[in-house]
Amino acid sequence: MTLVGLALRRAGCALISCLAILAVVAPPTFAANDVQRLKYRVGPVQVTPGQNRIAYDVLSQKPAVDGYITRIKANLVRADGSVPPSSQIMFHHGVWLNMSGGDATTGGLPERFFAIGEEKTILTLPRGFGLPYRASDRWLLNHMIHNLTPRPYELYFTYELDFIPASSRAAARTRPVRPIWMDVENGTLYPVFDVLKGTGRRGRFTYPTQARAPYGSGRRLNEWTVDRDGVLVGTAGHLHSGGLWNDLYVRRGGKRAHLFRSKARYWEPAGPVSWDVSMTATRPDWRVKVKRGDVLSTTVTYETRRAAWPESMGIMVVYMADRGRGANPFKTRVDRPGRVTHGHLRENSDHGGAPTTLPDARKLPSSAFTGSLVDITDFKYTVGDLGLTGASGQPPVIQPGQSLTFRNNDDGKEIYHSITSCKAPCNGSTGIAYPIADGPVQFESGQLGTRLPGVGTVEWKTPANLNPGTYTYFCRIHPFMRGAFRVKQ
């Protein structure tokens, strides 16, 4: 669910790839009191091998009349309507932006009014509330499709809206809400942070609370000062694998109140290590009164006993009405448990970790390779490769105090790779829960690449302080890629 904090309002479509995409449904005819469920399928979208880029598309298909949106559900599908397995294609994020409106929490951005990540949360506003919509609004979709394979795909975005036309009697009883985008890295170009294995307390790390100077001397990006009196009517969280929950707070003077904890309900048998998860959302009767000058803040908590979680996120989109009744959070408890928005999804059934014919690198003889540069080309580590072909992958050897340099030669194709430590033998089958960054010795290159979301370089060196032993690793972006190297006297 990446923000990509570009000044889109000023840039318009001149700086991005704006493609009008067609819907396969006709505009409906509205009855007087109908709440219409509008279903759109747009595309096709050509997904290149190994793709993990951030892109933008103009959404020219949307409701034909003014009204209110009360529910949004989105996905990514094949031409036949089936959803590809998450172990092959991941809808990493989609953010719907209204270019005709301004964002409440970050100046200079268009209004971010809906978002989904890999957990595919469904937005359902409480009865009587709706997102105001004008037929003249210009919509933009900021999306990131993660192709975990070396094969191309042709896919489609789908999104369905529950919509109340402004001409209906139901619209007169609908109160408008606006989206309040809360993010632990709000406004940054790529709003992620790394969670290291073993950090925090008792196997849990909360960002930014337990981070060391996360914002330097600047403002706290996880906070927003309420600009008018109002009522919060709904929210849910977004996090990545390893995430446990998002929290929302309000501060008034010297008092702070907890408003909601959006918990990750993992359907994953192995626990909090995959995208087989649903987030809890507030219940339909959740109403919290806030005042101008109050400070909302959000935090996110990850587990840290099992693995590291590079490039993590913590986002809560809150929906706020300008008037109405609500509980005073400093006098009444409002942080009641929420409800998940869906159960286990079929596309998340490939968990991985089963035995394979891939070798155990610890038992392999050392490579005769005597250099220090390992190229990554066409989804393969040229020395010590264990994954793509099932080759012998004899590990290259370096001496204590030395480093190997890895170089991503696929950068020109906008293909990113990583070198991420995993626990040996790291040779189970690839799935949404395997492999993970659980190496007993942690090292992590980041996404090698010169374009966002790459780290800005194509080369990375292994730590020079590694003790003798065999080290296994994988590519977080394409986890079928596995490799090993050895430190030896």
Q: What pLDDT, on a 0 to 100 scale, did the predictor assign at position 34?
A: 75
For residue 73, give its domain range: 8-348
Calculate the alpha carbon distances from 156 to 2, 146, 340 in Å: 20, 14, 26
Question: What CATH number should be reported for the domain holding residue 383?
Answer: 2.60.40.420
Q: Is 8 helix (H, G, I), strand (E, B) or coil?
A: helix
Residues 193 and 306 in one domain: yes
- Residues 353-371 as b/e (b if ≥16 CB within 10 A, e otherwise) read beeeebbebeebeebebee
Residues 322 and 359 in one domain: no
Query: Using CA atoms, how far apart are residues 392 and 386, in angstroms rounded to an integer?
Result: 7
Q: What pLDDT, on a 0 to 100 scale, did the predictor assign at position 391?
A: 53
Q: What pLDDT, on a 0 to 100 scale, did the predictor assign at position 5?
A: 42
Instruction: For residue 3, tell me if it sits in a domain.
Output: no
Residues 154 and 51 in one domain: yes
Q: What pLDDT, on a 0 to 100 scale, did the predictor assign at position 370?
A: 85
Q: What pLDDT, on a 0 to 100 scale, did the predictor assign at position 58?
A: 94
**Token digits for 172?**
């007169």
Q: What pLDDT, on a 0 to 100 scale, did the predictor assign at position 31?
A: 45
Give the other-Cβ count within 10 Å of 204's Cβ.
16
Residues 248 and 316 in one domain: yes
- Count Cα atoms within 13 angstroms, Cβ side, for 358: 26
**Token digits for 188?**
């940054």
Torsion, Cα of 62, 64, 70, 76 (10° steps): -20
Residues 111 and 241 in one domain: yes
Instruction: Return the closest-CA partner of residue 299 out of 346, 344, 338, 251.
Output: 251
pLDDT digits (tens, 9 = 90+) for 336-374: 999 999 999 999 999 999 999 899 999 999 998 888 999
Query: Using CA atoms, how far apart are residues 422 and 474, in angstroms rounded to an integer?
Result: 7
Number of domains into which the chain is organized: 2
Residues 76 and 222 in one domain: yes
Strand partners, 206: 301
Q: What pLDDT, on a 0 to 100 scale, did the predictor assign at position 17?
A: 34
Instruction: For residue 415, tell me if it sits in a domain.
Output: yes
Residues 249 and 223 in one domain: yes
- Decide which of 315, 348, 381 is a domain's last residue: 348
Residues 147 and 290 in one domain: yes
What DSSP letter does each residue of 19-36 carry, written as one string?
---B-SSPPPPPPTT--E
**Token digits for 15?**
């700086």
CB 224 within 8 A of CB 199: no
Query: Using CA atoms, how far apart are residues 454 and 448, in angstroms rounded to an integer?
Result: 5
Residues 257 and 377 in one domain: no
Residues 327 and 419 in one domain: no
The segments of the chain whose pLDDT lies below 70 read 1-33, 388-392
Q: What pLDDT, on a 0 to 100 scale, did the predictor assign at position 30?
A: 43
Instruction: For residue 1, tell me if it sits in a domain.
Output: no
Q: What pLDDT, on a 0 to 100 scale, did the predictor assign at position 189?
A: 85
Q: What pLDDT, on a 0 to 100 scale, did the predictor assign at position 137?
A: 97
pLDDT digits (tens, 9 = 90+) for 83-102: 999 999 999 999 999 999 99
Which residue intervals of 196-350 are DSSP H helices? none
- Decide which of 329, 348, 367 is a domain's last residue: 348
Give the list of residues 6+ apart from residue 319 with CB closer than 8 angstroms, or none. Answer: 125, 129, 131, 177, 178, 179, 180, 232, 233, 234, 235
- Decide which of 283, 316, 348 is a domain's last residue: 348
Query: Using CA atoms, how far apart are residues 277 and 258, in angstroms rounded to an integer?
Result: 24
**Token digits for 303?**
């587990």
CB 131 within 8 A of CB 68: yes
Q: What pLDDT, on a 0 to 100 scale, did the predictor assign at position 392?
A: 59
- Max distance between CA atoms of the chain, in angstroms, equals 81
Residues 374 and 269 in one domain: no
Residues 115 and 75 in one domain: yes
Q: What pLDDT, on a 0 to 100 scale, did the predictor assign at position 388?
A: 58
Element housing 169 (H / E)? helix 169-172
CB 308 within 8 A of CB 194: yes
